[in-house]
Structures are given as C-alpha cells and as structure tokens.
Amino acid sequence: MGKRQTGWLPPRIVRVFVVTPSVFVATGIVTLLSPLLYALLALIDLVDRKEWRFVRMGGLGLALCVAEFLGLLAALVLWLASGFGFGVHTRRMQRAHTRVFGWWLAFVTRALRLHLGFDFTVPMTERIHGPILTLARHAGPGDAFLLARTVIQDYRRQLRMLGTTKLLWDPFMSHMMLRLPHHFLAPNPADPAAELAAITRMCATMDDDSVLIIFPEGGNWTPRRWENAIESLQASGREVQADRAAQMANVLPPHAAGVAAALQARDDLTVVFVAHVGLGDLHSLRQIWDNIPLRRQVRAAYW
C-alpha cells in the first residue's frame, strides 16, 4: 500500500479536554455575535457590490460555527443522557445519536445550499429491504454531507461511514462519529490488515436498516490528485490501470480493498452506486469565491 503517510492527529485526550472546550467557547462567542457579524458583512458587500459574496461566504462560515456550537451542546446532552457515556452503545442511544446527527446534517446542508446558491435533487425510489453498501463519487464541497443527510433524513436509515481521520479534527464530528459505528482510515495505514478487519467487523453488525457509505476514491476529486494517482500507478508498473484512470477524467482510481472487506463480511448487502454532477469543478475556496452565487442544479443518480 506504499509508504506510511499518516496525517497527524492529536491524541483523543487532547481533542476532548483541549480542542473541544476551545472550539465550544469560540463558536459560542461567534454564535452570540452572529447578528452583528452578519450585519458587518452586509455593509462590506454594499461597498463591494459583487453578488453579496461576503455575506454568502462569511455567512456560511457563521452558520457552520453555529452548527458546531449547537452540535457540541447536543453531544454533551446525549453523553449525559447515556449515563456519562456508559450506555452510549445501547440501541436506543445509537438511534438518538443518529437522529441528532441527521438534524445537524440538515442544518449544514441547508446552509451550504442557501449561501452558495445551488439546489440539490436526488430521485427517491422504493425502499430497499436489508443492509445497503453505498459506493459514492466524492467531488465538490459538502457532497458527503448531502449524501449522509439523504440517508438519515429522507430514507430514515442508520448511517455507517468509512472516512478519513481528517474528520476527527472537528470536535463535533469526532464526538458524534466515534460513538457511532463508523471507521476512520489514515492515508496508507501502517497495518492494512487490521484496518480491513475493522471494516469487516463494522459490516458484520449492520442492522437491516443500516447503510454503509464508502467513497472508493479515498478523497475529494481534484485535478492534482487525479494526475498524482495516474503517476503513482505508472511508477508502480501498473500501466493498464494507469491507462484506464487516464480515460476517466472525472473520478480517481478506486481503492477496492475496503469494498472487498465489506462484501466479504456479509452476503446480504445490496450495493448502490451513487454519482452526482454540479460541484466537481469547485475544488478550492478560491474557485468557490470566484463563482458564487453558483446558480446551478446539483443532480444525483444511483443504481
């Protein structure tokens, strides 16, 4: 799997007792001052006069701070309700955490759509019975949140996700998702076999209404990542895979090991492939800044 390249992450005790209180206080202050800050952004836009971009981008930042503050407050209430964390893995508390996570995702995705100026549509189908493995394209700002919100809010499913350790830098995501059956991978982990075994265990305990989301590309699509992936395949002598990757300019070469581990865990998984268009060209804050309001339709489809 290549050289070990693990992104540095503070120990959990530091994240709990240092990072979380700091972020809670900071976002609480921003939440209290948000009306004043929003008015200040509007005054700047009256001078800038370019599509209210300060209100849009700054307002989105304020909304995310409010979401973080309220999310951490809800996580604290759930921790207390679970008996200071001792009962967090009971079925009742797991479903309570999922509901709160769904509300948080709905708040965040509504803020994204409102401030960036795009609409998101995904066709609804008949309900599939049994556990589902969802393999999704990963491109553009907030696409993972949009998909996760759809799973929890629209389909009333219990979400499981295979993500990267970068998510754990966010205090709310760290507290909420570590209490739920999600798994986080560092880039090129030191013990791939142990990581695959953890994925297998996560799938083996899925309920009939569980949905596991995997992003086989391993990260958000960007032109640089696409080029680097092709160069990596060529350097390792996998010319056939490199040629195939070069012909698929809108996705990264997939990592199949995690998917295989999930499929081997159980034989009753329904596999759903999800793709979307509309956000893939926005792979930096500068590009978002230059294009807001987006005025576009983000469409998703699945098979």
For the whole model, what pTM was predicted?
Answer: 0.91
CA atoms 206, 94, 136, 173: torsion sign: negative
In this prediction, residue 5 carries a pLDDT of 42
Give the tokens for residue 264: 């081997």
Q: Is 205 helix (H, G, I), strand (E, B) or coil?
A: coil
In this prediction, residue 128 carries a pLDDT of 86
pLDDT in tens, 43-95: 999 998 888 999 999 999 999 999 999 999 999 999 999 999 999 999 999 99
Angle at the Cα of 163 (from 230 to 125), degrees rounded to 5?
Answer: 95
Contacts of residue 11, defined as CB under 8 A and 6 or more positions apart, other chains included, come to none
- C-alpha 144/C-alpha 74 separation (Å) is 21
In this prediction, residue 7 carries a pLDDT of 62
Nearest to 67 by CA among 164, 145, 162: 145
Give first-to-last CA distance, the chain, whole Å. Answer: 30
Helices 223-235 + 239-247 axis angle, to 10: 160
pLDDT in tens, 212-241: 999 999 889 999 999 999 999 999 999 999
In this prediction, residue 219 carries a pLDDT of 87
Intervals of the chain under pLDDT 50: 1-6
Give the tokens for residue 278: 């509309």
Q: Write the DSSP string, 19-88.
A: IHHHHHHHHHHHHHHHHHHHHHHHHHHHHH-STTHHHHHHHHHHHHHHHHHHHHHHHHHHHHHTTTTTTT
Give the tokens for residue 160: 């499981």
Report the relative pairing of strands 270-277 and 296-302 from DSSP bridges.
Answer: antiparallel
**8 Å CB contact between 134 and 161:** no
Give the tokens for residue 273: 């492939």
- C-alpha 112/C-alpha 64 separation (Å) is 9
In this prediction, residue 2 carries a pLDDT of 36
The order of strands in the sheet holding 158-164 is 118-121, 296-302, 270-277, 132-136, 210-214, 158-164, 183-185
